[in-house]
Structure 1
Amino acid sequence: MTEEVKEWWELTARWFQDDIDLDVGVNWTGVGVDDDLRLLLDVAGKDVLELGCGGGQCSVALAERGANVTGLDLSAEQLDFARDLAAERDADVAFLQGDVTDLPFADDSFDVAFNAYVFQWVDDLAACFRETRRALREGGRFVFSMPHPVYDLADPESHEVEESYFDTGRQVTPQNDLETDMVTYRHRVSDVYNALVGAGFRVERLLEPGSDDPDDYEEGPWGERRPELLAKLPSTLAVEARAA
């Protein structure tokens, strides 16, 4: 991950956590607890790594389900929030600062690695997936969700495609009220799949959760989610893989 991503999160972490106000739980769609996908199954007694744990809501939830959880994040501000949350709920989670493309763990340390809505911040997915495979035991599960790359290509009002799916890599979103712009990275579905296979994973499932009924969606804390568009295009890509 890059210094500009780290700078963004150090600047915005508290504001983000206050505004999004996530419940403790697994937030697969990035905006609220949604464990209906049941991707993580039974984690009791397992060594679990959350890559990019943010405010710790998912890590704390899995610790409360009996997992031995380690949460890693690039941002010290996010980790401060996560530690406060864990202390408030008396949850035993080890939180560390670090980069998902260069993990500070020995080989074969974990049974499960996961995250929700993190990989849009990662420029080098191949390096991240190689490091994740290294840290996982043979047969270990790697489960994650991320923004689906097709959703942001459409204009939220007209629903017409305005950007190219093939325009991958660094994306800059100007922030009028901040000195620092938001930088994310766009990855095609094939980029994700091929990086996983190249790192030594066997992809078991790709999921695109959603519904064609706009009433099934909420607008989100900043009104950024458009129910009419969400009923036409998937906004989330979820992946289940296993260390081969």
Structure 2
Amino acid sequence: MTEEVEDWWDATADAFQDAIDLDVGVNWTGFGHGDLELLTDVEDDAVLELGCGGGQCSVALAKRGADVTGIDLSENQLVHARALADEHGVDIDVRKGSVTDLEEFDDGSYDVAFNAWVFQWVEDLAACFEETHRVLRPGGRFVFSLPHPVYDVTEGGSHEVSESYFETGRLEITHDGMDVDQVLFRHTVSDIVNALVDAGFVVERMHEPGTPNPDDYEPGPWGEYTPALMSKLPAVLVLEARNE
């Protein structure tokens, strides 16, 4: 499964970075309402971004004074991350690797681990969370966001629930003009929280940011994130946990 995700991102990295045009920063909520300030005080912290993509989040935290390492499956995504770091005059250590296998990192070597909008690409969250727990120091923070599982099974146009929330696992999407299929993985909220607890984390906060006003949202570039639906259902799930 890892190879399929890697192939997708290697094939689409350039087009994605051009279309999404992300600002440097940690955008926890995607196209949702506002944003959350969750990693503002990271000066001198050792920070690991699990799935750094084009580096927008890693560069942002490096500019806040953190010592940042980013890993990603896609070498083509890392090309963008390195270029962005050079553009902003910061040093980040970006490496090719999987979030489910962090063997190159020592136990207790990071103060913070995080990502924004990555875990929908990860099949084995248990392995990822166990490895993240291992590389975090006691008291270390783990913060991440991902598309909300409830939003994902609801049609953006009709607002009807089109698939079962309980139908988890692999989701394969074929796109016209692409030789590589997009492979995603669905997890329930309880799957995610229980995997954190089983890995040894204490879950401190859960966020489902939103507002009932459609005017508070920006539409997504590919049509699946619509202001009308985002004003009815949470589009993003954000979790804060700690290695205790």
CA distance in 1, matches of 2:64, 2:156: 38
Instruction: Indicate the residue corresponding to 1:214 in structure 2.
Output: 214
Change (3 A) 1:48 1:26: same
Given the alignment of the two structures, is residue 59 of structure 1 paired with residue 58 of structure 2, yes or no? Answer: yes
* AA in 1 matched with 2:19: D
Letter paired with 2:86: A
CA–CA distance in structure 1, aligned partners of residues 30 and 8 of structure 2: 18
What's 1:92 paired with?
Answer: 91
Cα offset for 1:230? 0.5
- 1:156 and 1:108 map into 2 onto residues whose CA distance is 42
Distance 2:160 2:221 in 1: 24
Q: Which residue of 1 aligns with 2:156?
A: 156
Q: What TM-score do the two structures reach when normalised by structure 2?
A: 0.97
CA distance in 1, matches of 2:33, 2:65: 18
Q: CA deviation at 1:32?
A: 8.8
Q: Is 1:79 aligned with 2:78?
A: yes
The match for 2:107 is: 107
> Is 1:173 matched up with 2:173?
yes
Asked if the contact 1:24–1:33 (Cα under 8 Å) also holds between the matched residues in 2, the reply is no
Q: Distance in 2 between matches of 1:158 and 1:31?
A: 19
Structure 1 residues without counterparts, runs of 5 or longer: none
Distance 1:113 1:187 in 2: 20
Deviation at 1:223, TM superposition (A): 3.2
Whether contact under 8 Å (1:25, 1:33) holds in the other structure is no
The answer to whether structure 1 residue 185 and structure 2 residue 181 are counterparts is no
With structure 1 as the length reference, what TM-score do the two structures score?
A: 0.97
**Residues of 2 paired with 1:106 and 1:232: CA distance?**
43
Distance 1:3 1:33 in 2: 34
Which residue of structure 1 aligns with residue 49 of structure 2?
50
Cα 1:40/1:191, change in 2 over 3 Å: same
| 3-state SS of paired residue (1:241) | strand
**C-alpha distance in 2 between matches for 1:102 and 1:225:** 31
Once the 2 structures are TM-superposed, how far is the Cα of residue 31 of structure 1 from its aligned partner?
4.8
8 A contact 1:22–1:32 mirrored in 2: no
Alignment CA distance shift 1:12-1:178 (3 Å) = same
Tell me the percent identity.
64
Aligned position for 2:2: 2
Secondary structure of the corresponding residue to residue 9 of structure 1: helix
- Distance, in Å, in 2 between the alignment partners of 1:198 and 1:64 is 34
User: How far is 1:154 from its partner?
Assistant: 1.3
Instruction: Give the superposed CA RMSD.
Output: 1.3
CA pair 127-240 structure 1, distance change in 2 beyond 3 A: same
What stretches of structure 1 move > 6 A for 4+ residues in a row?
Answer: none
- Flag the structure with more relative contact order, 1 or 2, with Cα contacts below 8 A and sequence separation at least 6: 2
Tell me how far apart the structure 2 counterparts of residues 119 and 33 of structure 1 sit (CA, whole Å). Answer: 20
- Looking at structure 2, the residues matched to 172 and 74 of structure 1 have their Cα atoms a distance apart, in angstroms, of 18
After superposition, the Cα gap between the structure-2 partners of 1:49 and 1:192, relative to the gap in structure 1 and judged at 3 Å, is same
Structure 2: gaps spanning 5 or more residues: none
CA contact (8 A) 2:210 2:230 kept: yes
- Aligned pairs, number: 243
